Amino acid sequence: MRLLLALLLGAWLLGGCAGKPVDPSGTWINQAAIDAANEGGNLREALLAYGPNLEWRIQPQRRLAAYSNGFEQGEGQLLSEDGNRWRVDFYTDYHEALSLNDGELLQAASDSWPEQRFVRPASPAAVAAPLGQSFEQALYSAYLGGSWTIRQGLGEGGLVLFQADGRVEGLPGAERYALCLAGDCAAMSGESDSIWLQLGEQGQSWLFERDAQQLRIFEARNRASSEEMPDYYKGELHWRLERR
């Protein structure tokens, strides 16, 4: 009898644990998009293939959920549907369905997007950081991390380090950088990927190509008139970097 009671109690406890609501709070990033980008090819195409959303921030206590797609942000009301499924209602009739499965946050497929998967970042940005920064830092670390040597261009032979926080060391004329993920910068660079390089208060856009171990940065030439939005195309190769 005691053995039977013990077994029943254990089953009850396990069942209670299994049914306990899970906590989705915190930041979630689209690691699949980062992995696809890191394989090489066009950066923005890789992000779109597994996006478009790149990061979610969930705040159950405030009943809020917000997403970033690298350009736009949206915040909606978080409504629990059961222990591990939620609905996010936005200011229009638009809504998203979220769930947790095996440690992943799933954004359900819709008429507009395929299913998207998110994981908790290994090194999340600070709590007060802007939405999207955790994804950006993880992307920068994977996509441009490591040591690069300038094989062609100004500073040839020098070492270049792209830091996850947007700092760049060793690239002549630049101390900050930002990859174009979406939005106006994407529209201006057409099918090419673009990177912003800045020194002090001055900066400009460049176009680039990156495969596993090569990074080529081109002058961004503008074919649009002064009254139009810039329309960049690749000009002269300015740097060719090789990752060690």
- For 87-108, what is each residue's pLDDT tens digit? 999 987 889 999 999 999 999 9
Q: Is the pLDDT of residue 16 over 60?
A: no
Q: Express as a percent the part of the chain with pLDDT over 70.
A: 91
Question: What proportion of the chain, given as a percentage, has pLDDT over 90?
Answer: 82
Is the pLDDT assigned to residue 151 strictly greater than 70? yes
- pLDDT at residue 21, as a whole number: 53
The reported pLDDT for the residue numbered 13 is 44
Average pLDDT over residues 134-160: 97
pLDDT above 70 for 7: no
Tell whether the model's pLDDT for residue 10 goes beyond 90.
no
Name which of 117, 115, 53 is nearest 90 in CA terms.
53
In the block, residue with structure tokens 């300015």: 238
What's the chain's average pLDDT?
91
Rg of the chain over all Cα atoms, to the nearest angstrom: 22
Q: Is the pLDDT of residue 237 over 80?
A: yes
Provide the Cα torsion 68, 73, 79, 83; round to 10°: 10
Helix ranges (H only) for 51-183 are 133-144
pLDDT value, residue 12? 43
* pLDDT over 60 (residue 235): yes
Q: Where are the domains of the chain?
A: 22-119+129-141, 145-243
pLDDT per residue as tens digits for the range 38-56:
998 899 999 999 999 999 9
- Name the residue among 108, 131, 133, 109 with its Cα closest to residue 123: 133
Mean pLDDT for 217-242 is 96
What is the average per-residue pLDDT within 19-37? 87
Q: For residue 68, what are the CA distances in angstroms to 20, 166, 197, 208?
A: 29, 18, 23, 24
pLDDT at 163 over 70: yes
Is it the case that residue 175 has pLDDT exceeding 80? yes
pLDDT value of residue 216: 98
- What CATH number was assigned to the domain covering residues 22-119+129-141? 2.40.128
**pLDDT score, position 2:** 54
Name the residue with tokens 């998967």. 117
pLDDT at position 4 over 50: no
- Does the structure show a pLDDT above 50 at 5? no
| Helix (DSSP H) and strand (DSSP E) numbers for the chain | 5, 16
